[in-house]
Amino acid sequence: MAPVWPSKVIVIRVQAAMRRNDRSMAVELSPLGILVNCIAPGLSIPNVFCGADNDPDPEAACPGTHAARRLGVAEDIANMVSFLVSDESAYTTGQ
């Protein structure tokens, strides 16, 4: 099992709070036609929070720390933003 670093614990707690807030806001604002979504990416390159910030191979330094079994890259997050601002996400709220 990978060790848990303090910064990772903080990130996990903040993301959990953001998700709860997102869902609460989605319930309250959906009657007004307002969609609410939150992007809270996991570990990503170059923002690695598992102690591998300066590691030449950060994926090897953070094994099993993400459900996708790989670190994210900026394009992964940009693709999510592109989807959420498009008409294709018209039914997506509270995510």
- pLDDT value at residue 13: 85
Q: Quick check: helix, strand or coil at residue 43?
A: coil
Average pLDDT over residues 38-51: 66
Average pLDDT over residues 25-34: 93
Short-list 70, 80, 72, 77, CA closest to 44: 72
Q: Which residue has the higher pLDDT, 46 or 11?
A: 11
Q: Rounded CA gap, 74 and 47, in Å?
A: 10
Q: Rounded CA gap, 6 and 14, in Å?
A: 13
Q: Which residue has the higher pLDDT, 73 or 92?
A: 92
- pLDDT value at residue 71: 74
Average pLDDT over residues 37-66: 64
